[in-house]
Every structure is written in structure tokens, then in C-alpha cells.
A and B are shown apart, each in its own frame.
Chain A
Amino acid sequence: MAARNVAMREAIRRALREEMHRDENVFVMGEEVAYWQGTHRVTRGFLEEFGERRVRDTPISEMAIGGVAVGAAMAGLRPVAEFMTINFAFLALDAIANHAGKVRYFFDGMFKAPLVYRAASGWGNQATASHSHAPEPIFAHFPGLYVGCPSNSMDAYGMLKTAIRDDNPVLFTESIALYPKPGPMPDEGEELLIPIGKGDIKREGDHVTLVAYARGVDWALQAARQLSKDGIEAEVVDLRWLRPLDMQLVYASFKKTNRCVIVEESLPMYSFGSEIAALLQENMFDYMDAPIKRVAAEDVPLPYSKTIELLALPNAQKVVDAVKEIL
């Protein structure tokens, strides 16, 4: 492994570049991905390197982006379609949930949809109520669509490469706050493929299991370091994929700790936390030593005020507090 850390946006860029070089059927499309070099600079330099045929700017129409990707995939290409932010992907929900996620079933496998939807996700910097969603659980609701949500550079790289190569549609979300976050990467020329549905233990501990994904993993790890000062060792499980869920990993950890706090960037109702908590009580009832706690955003439209915005959002301290409530 290289010693040099790489920002997560660069890790994603590298994965995309490598896959485009590996397979000429892979192409990128989306708003401003070509001439503007990508809103989040993930496709920086792609137009020059791969040309207009494989790096395509689209109209400002998420339904078109979502739908064209399905058609291209059915016709044999492997599109990587970018939604500038996931807030706009709601417009494409029909293409994503009803078409991408179902076409293989509709046609009994005659067609498939080997596509990846990339979308920047999450809140921060006073983007307010309609531009601050982290709605990954909504998309993970639908069978037929995989949902991947990396928490760091290495995972983003390995997960995106797997997603592009898989013959099923994947929604791949990238936390805006994590784009600049540096992290280790495989050396150039060294390849990493992280299987779909495989979670990862980011930190080992015996006293409580913190289950998280994407940005929640950062808060969980920060909380774990703080708890460690009080002699509480938290195990941090990064599920990485919201569908399929690596529940066996969670169960194994829970059998050891008997306690769980679920950490997510998203809203609390009908959420990632709700699902994990429900599965734990159904399957691990006899191992529970405390109620399952959830740390999520407050159940409100996100306010504009910087101060109130921060109050409404999860953070490491809220995770610490939740752990101490059940220990």
C-alpha cells in the first residue's frame, strides 16, 4: 500500500479512469461532467482523456439522466451516470426504482441494467432543507438496486470498481463532506475490488457496537476514541453497502458486545437505523443487554441558520452520549 494519502474524490476519479481504460463500454454522463470537469471535480480531465463520445454532458434533466442510463445499459453499454447531488435524483426516482431496479426481472434476464448512478450526498454549509438530504435508505428500499456508500478513499475506490463491473444497477453515493478526506490507497497498478454487500470492521472493541456507513463511520470512530478515554471500547462496523446489508458482520459483533448504537447522516424515521435495530431485535433478541440506540439527524427540515443546522445534525458527541445512555 502506498504511504501517500489520497482524497476520496481522487480515489473515485482513479477508479473511474481505470475502469474506463479497462472496458471501452464504460462511459460517464451527467450535468457538467465534461466541459466543466465535474461539479465535484471527480471527472477532472476526463473529456480530454476519453473524448466527447464517452464523457457526455447532459441537459438539466435528472429523469433524462436516469432514463438514458437504463436504455444505454439495456443496449449493452456500462454507463456511470452522475447526479450532481442526490437531492435532484428524486426527479429520477421512476427511472431508478421502476426501471433500473426492475428491468432484469421484467424481462426474465433477457435484459440487464449494468449501470452505476453516482450521486453526491449529505449536508453542510447551510445548503438548507431541499439540498441537504442523505436519503440513501430511500433508494435502498427497493429490491433490484444495490446501494453503496463508502466512508473513505480505499473503500470508495474498491467499491466503485466492483459496482461498474457488476451486471446489476448500483446507486453509489459519495458524501460531499468526505470528498476532500484523505486516506490510504492501493499503489498505482495495484487493484482492489470490494465485493458488493461486504461490510468492514473499522475498529475493534468489546463494549458496544457502533453500526454506521459513509460519514457516520467518521463520527463513530471519533466517538470511539473519546469513549476509549473512559475505558469504553467501541467496535465500529462500517456496512459500506445499504443493500445488500452485511448483517452477519453486525450479528457477530453484537454477540460480542450485546449493545448497539446505529449512526447515520440521514433522518431517523423509516431509516437505516430503524432497519438495523429491527433486524437486531428479531435475530439477536437473546443477546441484547440494552435497548438499541439510534443517532441520526433531527426529524426536521434542515434549517438555514448555521447554529441551528449544527444542532439538528448528528455528530460524535451525540454518539458518545447515546453509548453512555445504554452502558
Chain B
Amino acid sequence: MAHEVKQTTDGLLINWLRNIGDSVAAGDIIAEVEADKATVEIEAGSDGAVLELRAEPGDEIGEGSVIAVIGAAGETIAAASDSAADQTSPEESTPAANGQSLADDGRVKASPIARRLAAEKGIDLARIQGTGPGGRIIKSDVENVRARPALPPVPTTAPAGGGQPTWGKMPEDDVEVLPLSRMRRAIADGTIRSKSNTPHFYVTVEADVEPLLALRAEINAQLAERGIKVSVNDMLIKALALTLREFPNLNTHFYGDRFVQHQRINIGIAVALPENGLLNVVCHDADSVRLSEMAVNNKAMYERARAGKIKPDDIRGATFTISNMGPYNIVDFSAIISSPEAGILAVSSSRRIPIVRDDGTLGVGTRMNMTLSVDHRVSNGAEGAAFCNALRDLIENPLRMLDLQQA
């Protein structure tokens, strides 16, 4: 029976890696798509032969659209199309707004009835392109969004860019005008939307990282023969995930009229890319995955991200995000929440600094600042502080992670 290959993210078809008639096995890479933030490889979902290719390189293809049909060699397209029809269940809406539905202050422009219908249907207005005057989202735009699953899926990337206001008159000489990359546009849209719509508050704590660094050295000594090296970031992700387990309210996404609390703890990791790029890859089940396994997986994801060969799952499903600027020798910074997540942890560099010990004497210690950004619609300062203290305690007593890991 024929099987459709569905596009899993918006993007530009770059290459077909198989031709019509070629046989493929499930999992084979059959196409490369340039998505907002990365080149995504599209896998065949079943064994068979390529019966039909429905897009040309260079075509814009939307999430959920059928781009190829795979079936038994010799099977006719008609039969394939028939069976394809009853499989068609694209659950997603009109893909991501291109920015035209944003008011100057970044607020989504939507009519009152569109807002009410969207709330009733559980649709995130930020994902809809408005067709009303001035890009306003109107009733018909919401009505045209097809039904979606009970829980809204986590956006895989920031919404696609476009339509940002032009700031003033463009000088004519002595400037070079550069186009926005798709990734830069997505970052622009995602950050302005979050920063404009999310009431951030910030909590900063300082942690003694010497115990964590010592434990890491011990762990890596054990793993050396397997060629595995756990990074500081891996350990911080583990500590963050285990702390989130104690604070489920912060592993919650805000959807305007309700909260969606996640059972899984998937940590998004901000990765700097060449050419001023930035991408959040996702460490799934960071609380329960073994540290050595996480280290291997994360390293592979970073490499894929930097090579522009990311897989859809690499960037899907984050429930909370960490941004670690430790390698950049900085004292402190705060990060913009990746909406609709409830918070983001900004980790700064470990530094040798003078300290006051518990007995009142002066000494030299290794300290690291962490600043938690929290969506105030989801949580309050007291919880933010409690969370930061719990996280610090775990980092300063890292052996406790062994115990928590079993929970």
C-alpha cells in the first residue's frame, strides 16, 4: 500500500536524493529541506519504491504537505492517491505567521471574535497568518485552521519571518544592504514575539562549581576508555532537568487561556552556529537519560546543527531551555524565553573570585552565575527563587543527582 511522505516543517525543498522508481527503505533520507533554522533531512516512512515526487527543488513546501508517495514498485499513482487520501490528517494550521499580523508593539493583531474563537478552539493566534486589513487575524482565518490535537504541539522553531517594519528611510550611500537569512528572520520573529508578549522576570544566583567540576573529572576518567566525554553543559542540563522534576509548574507552557504542564522534561539547548546563526536543539527526557548517553547524543546534535544537517527530532519538543555562555568568559547575562516555555536558564562563565567562607575567612573560589528568566504569567518570584536555590544546591552537591536520577 502506498505511503505518503509528509513534510514535517516549513521550508524550501533543496534536493531530491531519490528519483521516481528508486527503491527505498524506511528511514532512508530522500530529500533535504531548508527550514527556518536548518537543513532538515526527510526520511522515507516505509519500504517501497518512489512513485511520485510532488515538489521541485526550490519549491516552498508547508508543514504537513505531501511531497512524495512511496508504494509497491509498479503500483499506480491512482491507487496510491486513493489510499493516501484516507491517511491525510494534517493537524496543523496555516503555518506560522509571517509577522504581518503583529502590531508595532509586537502584539498579535486579531479581531475580538477571532480571539474568542481561537481561545475556544485552543488555537495559538501567533501561528496564524491574518488576512484582514493590515494583516489582522479575522474570524475566517481562525475558522480555516483545521482541528488540532487535544494538546497543542510544541512549535519546532520560531515562526517564519517576514513583513517586519522598515525603520525609517534607508540611507543611500556608504551602507551595504544585506538580506535576512531565513534563520535570522525566524530569530527576529521569535524573540520579538516572546519579548513583547511575555512578562519576563529574572532571578540570579551564584553557584560554587568546584564540586561539579571535580565530579565531572571523575566521571570522564571512568568514561575515557569508551571515548565519551561529559561536558559541563551536560551536567548542568541534568541538574536543570532534575530540578524541573521538583518544580513541574516551570515545565509548563502558557497558551493564553490555559496552562499545559509537560510530563516529559526536554531541555532545549541554544547552539551558536556559523554566520550569526542560533538554534535550539533538544535533549529529550533529560531527567531520565543516562549522562553518558546524553553526552553522546548532545555532541552528535551539535555537530549536525553546525553542519546544517539537523533532523526534525533534534529541534522538536523542548519544554524548557538552557543557554550556556560559559565558554565566552562573561560575568552574567539574561536570556529571552523561547515561547511558550515558562523559563530559560542563562549560564555564565565559571570564574576564580575572592570568596567569604562560612567561617568568615577570605579565600579563592570558583563561582558561576546563573540567571533564570521566568514568564510571570506562569510563576512568581518566590518560586523562581526556590527553583534557583534548589538548582544551586544540586550543582554544589552533585552526587545527589545519582539519587534523584532513580526517581
Contact = CB atoms under 8 A, between A and B. Distances in A.
B192 to A, nearest CB: 25
A277 to B, nearest CB: 14
A200 B112 CA distance: 27
Nearest to A255: B113
A286 B133 contact: no
A219 B114 CA distance: 30
Contacts of A258: 111, 113, 139
A287 interface: yes
Output the residue of A258, A286, A289, A325 with the most chain B CB within 10 A: A289
A269 interface: no
B244 interface: no
Nearest to A326: B133
A290 B138 contact: yes
B57 to A, nearest CB: 38
A289 B116 CA distance: 10
A289 B133 contact: no
Contacts, number: 27
A286 B139 contact: no
B132 interface: yes
A285 B113 CA distance: 7
B133 A285 contact: no
A75 to B, nearest CB: 53
A286 B114 CA distance: 8
A288 interface: yes
B131 to A, nearest CB: 10
B333 to A, nearest CB: 42
A289 B113 CA distance: 6
Interface in A291-327: 325-327
Contact of B113 (A287, A325, A326, A327): A287
B169 to A, nearest CB: 27
Contacts of A288: 111-113
A287 B112 contact: yes
B116 A290 contact: no
Q: Please tell me the size bucket of the interface on B.
A: 10 to 19
Contacts of B136: 290
Contacts of A325: 133
Contacts of B113: 258, 286-289
B148 to A, nearest CB: 22
Nearest to A285: B112
Best-buried of B113, B114, B138 by chain A (most CB within 10 Å): B113
B132 A286 contact: no
Interface residues of A, number: 10
B138 A286 contact: no
Contacts of B112: 285-289
B357 to A, nearest CB: 62
Interface in B45-70: none
A256 to B, nearest CB: 11
In the complex, which of the residues B111, B132, B136 has the most CB atoms of chain A within 10 Å of its own CB atom?
B111
A113 B107 CA distance: 55
Interface in A109-141: none
Interface in A260-295: 285-290
Nearest to A325: B133
A190 B136 CA distance: 52
A327 to B, nearest CB: 8
B55 to A, nearest CB: 32
Interface in A145-187: none
A289 B112 CA distance: 6
A258 B112 CA distance: 10
Interface in B126-170: 132-133, 136, 138-139
Nearest to B136: A290
A233 to B, nearest CB: 15
A290 B133 contact: yes
Nearest to B139: A289
A327 B112 CA distance: 15
Contacts of A326: 133
Nearest to B117: A286
Nearest to B115: A286
Nearest to B137: A289
A288 B136 CA distance: 12
Contacts of A327: 133
Interface string B91-117: 000000000000000000001111010
Contacts of A289: 111-114, 132, 138-139
Nearest to B111: A289
A258 B116 CA distance: 13
A326 B116 CA distance: 19
Contacts of B139: 258, 289
Interface in B164-200: none
Most buried by A among B114, B132, B136, B138: B138
A222 to B, nearest CB: 23
Interface string B286-318: 000000000000000000000000000000000
Contacts of A287: 112-113
B112 to A, nearest CB: 4
Nearest to B132: A290
A37 to B, nearest CB: 53
A325 B114 CA distance: 18
Nearest to B116: A286
Contacts of B133: 290, 325-327
B187 to A, nearest CB: 32
Contacts of B116: 286
A288 B138 CA distance: 9
Contacts of A286: 112-113, 116
A285 B114 CA distance: 11
A324 B138 CA distance: 15
B393 to A, nearest CB: 48
Given A287-B112, A289-B114, 7 more contacts: A286-B113, A288-B113, A289-B112, A289-B139, A290-B111, A326-B133, A327-B133
Interface of B: 111-114, 116, 132-133, 136, 138-139
Interface of A: 258, 285-290, 325-327
27 contacts: A258-B111, A258-B113, A258-B139, A285-B112, A286-B112, A286-B113, A286-B116, A287-B112, A287-B113, A288-B111, A288-B112, A288-B113, A289-B111, A289-B112, A289-B113, A289-B114, A289-B132, A289-B138, A289-B139, A290-B111, A290-B132, A290-B133, A290-B136, A290-B138, A325-B133, A326-B133, A327-B133
Q: What are the 8 tightest A-B residue pairs by CB atom distance, in nearest-first order?
A: A289-B111, A288-B112, A286-B116, A289-B139, A289-B113, A289-B138, A285-B112, A287-B113
